[in-house]
Structure 1
Amino acid sequence: METQRKDSGQNPSGTQQDILSTFAQKGTFKTFSSAVDKAGLNDMFAGPGPMTVFAPTDEAFAKLPAGRLDELFQPGNKEELAALVNYHVVKGRRNAVDVGKWEAARTVHGQNAPIQLSRGNLSIDGANVTSQDIESSNGMIHGIDKVNIPQARKN
């Protein structure tokens, strides 16, 4: 994992912030932060955790098909948006070294997301980890370059 950046979610005073505040400070997770808000999941991300978030960057969201993000952000799609957000979250604080030992991550959404470690590059469900081990008071954030879409659930 030589090419990936490590970071900290500390504010200027040196104290750690929660995941939502860390998203705001980093500035590269604005769209994911908006998705958390529109899905009604702010309390989970500001809560005690701990959790590990594989957060798609703003650039990752820009790769979605035209109109898809606007569609997801419609009030009638709140459940689908919550499923998408939860597919990027794993219970517990896990750094990149820990995650790299897994074959799959059991997401809060309830599905397994495959993990691969190849030549030092970590990926989850085909999304490359571009920034790793961004610490926060209630968990760990790993930035990814693709929005992962959970499989549709069967009723």
Structure 2
Amino acid sequence: MKNLGTLIMVMMLFVVSSFTPKTNTIHENKVEADIVDLAISQDFLTTLVAAVKAGDLVDVLKGDGPFTVFAPTNDAFAKLPAGTVENLLKPENKAQLVKILTYHVVPGKVMSSDLKNGQMAKTVEGSEIKVTLKDGKAMINNATVTAADIEADNGVVHVIDTVIMPPM
């Protein structure tokens, strides 16, 4: 479980570092860093980074991988009901936080060109996510991919606009 958490953290950090802080635009599709270090460098992924740290997933996401991370932005976390993020970051809620974060990670390197409409993919958490392709956009469950194929040394990150929740 620790390795899964680290994987998620690394992916989230990668996404953060691949965008400029103010515009959330990609300035590179391949960065010479692991997923965690990339995410740490981005202002719009600070909530994800904090969650990965609280879930003790940094070492996992700095691992060899490869990992595919669907990384929610700060704005995605802000859509959750008031107090949700703060509650999840409490030590007593670590197991639930790890479950949510690992639901955003798929083993292997899955590029956007590999996605198929209606595809189901098993996450590190153990449940599946559903891919929907429509009007040139990819969706993962109810989240839209806003930036795709951001490559790190140990995987790939796809930025999403909504935190996806595993079956509870």
Give the TM-score, by structure 2 length: 0.81
Q: 2 CA distance for matches of 1:134 and 1:73?
A: 27
What is the total number of aligned residue pairs between the two structures?
143
Aligned: 1:79 with 2:95: yes
Structure with bigger gyration radius: 1
Q: Does 1:32 align with 2:45?
A: no
- Does structure 2 retain, via aligned residues, the 8 Å contact 1:9–1:22? no
Would you say 1:141 and 2:157 are equivalent positions?
Answer: yes
- Measured in 1, the distance between the counterparts of 2:77 and 2:100 equals 12
Q: Are residue 21 (structure 1) and residue 37 (structure 2) matched? A: yes
- Could you say if the C-alpha distance between residues 33 and 9 of structure 1 is closer, same or farther in structure 2, counting changes exceeding 3 Å? farther
| Residues 9/70 of structure 1: CA separation in 2 closer, same or farther (3 Å cut) | farther
Tell me what 1:130 maps to. 146
Q: SS of the residue aligned with 2:44?
A: coil
| AA of the residue aligned to 1:56 | P
Q: Which residue of 1 aligns with 2:82?
A: 66
Matched residue type, 2:128: N
Moved over 6 A (4+): none
For the 8 Å contact 1:49–1:139, the answer to whether it is kept is yes
1:108 aligns with 2:124: yes
Considering Cα pairs closer than 8 Å and 6+ residues apart, tell me whether 1 or 2 has the greater RCO: 1
| 1:11-70 Cα distance to aligned partner (Å, 9 max, x none) | xxxxx1000011022332111111111011111111111000000001100111000111
Question: Which of 107, 113, 132 pairs up with 1:91?
Answer: 107
More strand per residue:
1
Please report how far the alpha carbon of residue 99 of structure 1 lies from its aligned counterpart in structure 2 after TM superposition. 2.3
Gaps of 5+ in 1: 11-15
2:69 alignment partner in structure 1 = 53
Structure 2 partner of 1:13: none
Which structure features the higher share of helix residues?
2
Alpha-carbon shift at residue 101 of structure 1 (Å)? 5.4
C-alpha distance in 2 between matches for 1:26 and 1:79: 26
Moved more, 99-108 or 137-146: 99-108
Distance 1:9 1:73, change over 3 A: farther
TM-score where L is the length of structure 1: 0.87
Gaps of 5+ in 2: 1-24
Q: Distance in 2 between matches of 1:61 and 1:71?
A: 12
